[in-house]
Structure 1
Amino acid sequence: MTSRPVRIGVQIQPQHADYKAIRRAAAEAEDIGADILFNWDHFYPLYGEPEGLHFECWTMLAAWAEQTSRVEIGALVSCNSYRNPELLADMARTVDHIGDGRLILGIGSGWFEKDYQEYGYEFGTAGGRLDDLAEALPRIESRLAKLNPPPTRKIPVLIGGGGEKKTLRLVAKHADIWHSFGDAETVERKTGILREHCAAVGRDASEIEISAGVGGKPAEKGQALLDLGVTLFTVGTGGPDYDFSELRDWVAWRDQVNG
C-alpha cells in the first residue's frame, strides 16, 4: 500500500478532431476534476483513418498551460528521438513556467515507425532507441540545471514502458513516475523487477509513483491495481467527439477512495 492519494489522468488524443474540439475537451476534463491532462507525441493518428486530422504535442502543451489553471499537463509520452535532449529540456522548462509549475515531463524511447519515416528520423532498433534514451536522460537533467531561469520546481519525469532489462532500469535511475501497461498480474511482476533495479542503483522504490493506463469501470480493476501500489490511473479518449464518461467514473471512484 502507499500513502499517496489516488490521482486520475486523461489522455486527450490529438487525433481526428479540429483544435477547437481539443480546446473544449481540455476545458471539460479540467472541470470534471481530472488531475492530469495528457496528450501524446505522434505526427499521425494511431488508429482510425491513418491520414486523419492530427496535431503536434509540445505546441499543444504550451497552449494547455495557458488555457488551464489547476491540472498538471504532459505528454504520455514524448518521443526521445524527435528532439535534441537539450532542446527538449528547454521546451519543458518553458512550458513549466507558462503553466506556473504544472508540467510533467513524460518521455519514452519511441516506437511508431510511420512517424520516423515521414519526418526523416532514423528508426533503428528498439534496443538502439532505448540506448539513445539512456544517453539523453542525463543530458536533459544537466540542461535543466543550467537554464536561466531554472524550472519553477523539480519537474517530475515520467517514463513509459515495461521493458524489464533496460526501461525499468532507466525508471529506477531517473523517473519520478513509471507509466505501466497491462493487467494486475503484469503490473505485479514488473513492479517487483522495478524494485530490484531500484535496489541495484541504491534508490528507494517508494519514491516512484506507479501509473497505469486503464479503461472500463473502476470496480473492475481499480482496487486490484491500487493494492499493487498504483496511484495514478489514466483513461484515454480520441476525437472527433471526446467521450468523458470513463473519466467521470474514475474521478468519482478517486473521490471515494481518497475520502
Structure 2
Amino acid sequence: MSTTPSTTPEVRDDSRPARIGIQLQPQHAQYPAIRAAAARVEEMGADIAFNWDHFYPLYGEPEGLHFECWTMLAAWAEATSRIEIGALVSCNSYRNPELLADMARTVDHISAHDAGTGRLVLGIGSGWFEKDYDEYGYEFGTAGGRLDKLRDDLPRIESRLGALNPAPTRKIPVLIGGGGEKKTLRLVAKHADIWHTFGDVETFTRKSAVLDERCAEIGRDPGEIERSVGVETVQDAETMFAAGARLFTIGVGGPDYDTAVLADLLAWRDDKNA
C-alpha cells in the first residue's frame, strides 16, 4: 500500500448526495437573533445547522457576546423540526465522556419530537483554543495529549450510549474534526460516520487518501465515512465535490447572520442532486 498518496484531485466512487451545512457561530449576537437564524436556515432547506463549542468569540471582539454550545443545541432541538443539529465541534476536554454521551442522547430525544427519529450529529474534536482552557480551569496540556485523551474517551462515549435507558432514537452519527494523519485520521477510521476538515483541494485529497488507507488497515469500507469540508463559495464546493467531499459547511457570525451564500449553495446542491 502506498504511503505517499497522490495530490491530484480525483472523483471518488461515491453515490452520496451533496449536503449543505451552516455553522451559526454563537458570538456577537443575543440569543433571539441566533434562534431566528436557526429557524431561517431550516426554512431555507439547509441540511445541518451547527454551532461551536467555545466560551469566547474566535473572531472580532475577544470579550464579545457569546453563548454555550450544548444548552443551545437543546434549545435548537425544540425550536426546529427537520434540520439536523450539532456542534462543529464539541471539545472533548470540557466534559466527562459519559456525561457527554448522556447529553447527546438527551438532545437526540428532544430533537425527535413526537416519538420520531432524532436529528443530532455528535461532532467532536480534541480541543485547541487555549483561552477556553485557561479561563474555565481545564488543563491545556499538549496537542498530542489531547488527542490521546480523545482516543481513550471515544470508546467510553460509545459504551455509555449503548447502556443508556432509554437508548438514543438512532445510531447517533459521529463527526470527528481534524486532519492529523498520524492520530486523528486513525480515530476517524475507527469511530466516525463523518470526517470534517478544512484546507485547499490538494490538502483535502491527500488527507482523504490517507483516511482510505487508515480504513484499509482496520478492514473498514472508507465509503462509510462522509467527507465534510468548510467552504466559502459555490466554486469551493464544486471543486471539493469533484475531490470526493459531500457535506459543505459555511460559517456565519452575529449579529446579522448573512445567509446569501447559503442560498447559493442550496441552489447548487439541488442542481447537483437532481
Asked if TM exceeds 0.5, the reply is yes
Partner of residue 48, structure 1: 60
- The Cα RMSD (Å) is 0.6
- Between the aligned partners of 1:182 and 1:103, the Cα distance in structure 2 is 26
- Between the aligned partners of 1:157 and 1:73, the Cα distance in structure 2 is 12
Q: Are 2:206 and 1:189 equivalent residues in the alignment?
A: yes
SS in 1 for 2:16: coil
2:97 partner amino acid:
P
Partner of residue 126, structure 1: 143
What is the Cα deviation at residue 159 of structure 1?
A: 0.1
Alignment deviations for residues 165-186 of structure 1 (CA, whole Å, 9 cap, x no partner): 0000000000000001111111
- Between the aligned partners of 1:19 and 1:174, the Cα distance in structure 2 is 33
Partner of residue 42, structure 2: 30
What is the Cα deviation at residue 223 of structure 1?
A: 2.3
Q: Are 2:239 and 1:227 equivalent residues in the alignment?
A: no
**Among 55, 67, 89, the residue aligned to 2:101:** 89
Partner of residue 194, structure 2: 177
2:266 partner amino acid:
V
What is the Cα deviation at residue 77 of structure 1?
A: 0.1
- Between the aligned partners of 2:272 and 2:217, the Cα distance in structure 1 is 33
1:105-254 to 2 correspondence within 5 Å? 105-216=122-233, 218=234, 220-254=235-269
- Between the aligned partners of 2:109 and 2:210, the Cα distance in structure 1 is 35
Q: What 5-or-longer segments of structure 2 have no aligned partner?
A: 1-11, 113-117
Alignment deviations for residues 15-40 of structure 1 (CA, whole Å, 9 cap, x no partner): 00000100110011111110000000
1:226 partner amino acid:
F
- Between the aligned partners of 2:27 and 2:236, the Cα distance in structure 1 is 27
- Between the aligned partners of 2:148 and 2:264, the Cα distance in structure 1 is 39
What is the Cα deviation at residue 229 of structure 1?
A: 1.3
1:155 partner amino acid:
I
What is the Cα deviation at residue 227 of structure 1?
A: 1.6
What is the Cα deviation at residue 228 of structure 1?
A: 1.6
SS in 2 for 1:8: strand
SS in 2 for 1:107: strand
1:2-81 to 2 correspondence within 5 Å? 2-81=14-93
Alignment deviations for residues 189-229 of structure 1 (CA, whole Å, 9 cap, x no partner): 0001001100111111000000000002x1x2222211221
- Between the aligned partners of 2:133 and 2:236, the Cα distance in structure 1 is 35
1:148 partner amino acid:
N
Q: What 5-or-longer segments of structure 1 have no aligned partner?
A: none
Alignment deviations for residues 124-176 of structure 1 (CA, whole Å, 9 cap, x no partner): 00000000000000000000000000000000000000001000000000000
SS in 2 for 1:99: helix
Alignment coverage as a number of residue pairs:
257
Moved more, 224-233 or 157-166: 224-233
Q: Are 2:120 and 1:103 equivalent residues in the alignment?
A: yes
- Between the aligned partners of 1:231 and 1:94, the Cα distance in structure 2 is 28
